[in-house]
Amino acid sequence: MTATPVPATPTSDRELVLVRIIDAPREKLFRAWTDPDLLKQWFAPRPYTTPFAKLDVRPGGTADVVMRSPDGEDMPVPGVYLEVVKNERLVMTDAYTEAWKPSEKPFMTTIITFEDAGNGKTKYTAVARHWTVADREAHEKMGFHEGWGQCADQLAELAATI
């Protein structure tokens, strides 16, 4: 199962946006984002994996996630939740690592929204707001659209099974 792409327009030159229609209710998608055991199943674009995820899903709570490359390199993805609206919205940032401790190099704030699209489907929007244009450009060159698009497909596949 794949997520159906929807055209998206960034609101600034520091933003990347991915929009998909996923054939699953938003409650399932929210759960897949907030349950560590589920997150580990879809969060990294294959063949990357997510061997570790510890989530304290509340404003100020820590998201401690590790992605692993096919050659075994671990890539920590630390962050803090800024806003949590059950089944509707998650806002996280890597500007903090935990308990409002500033990170050494903030990169972005992520805004995930889950909107009811009717007939059991969800309009899934992932926004990456970067601190600088250079950060946005670097993220784009890393393959934001391809990688996050693949993860949206993996999220859709998982949602069909939970």
Cα separation, 157 vs 122, whole angstroms:
14
> Is 82:93 a contact under the CB 8 Å cutoff?
yes
- pLDDT value at residue 2: 65
Residues in the chain where the model's pLDDT stays below 50: none
Nearest to 3 by CA among 15, 18, 21: 21
Q: Helix axis angle, 144-159 relative to 133-141, nearest 10°? A: 60
- pLDDT value at residue 56: 97
- pLDDT value at residue 116: 97
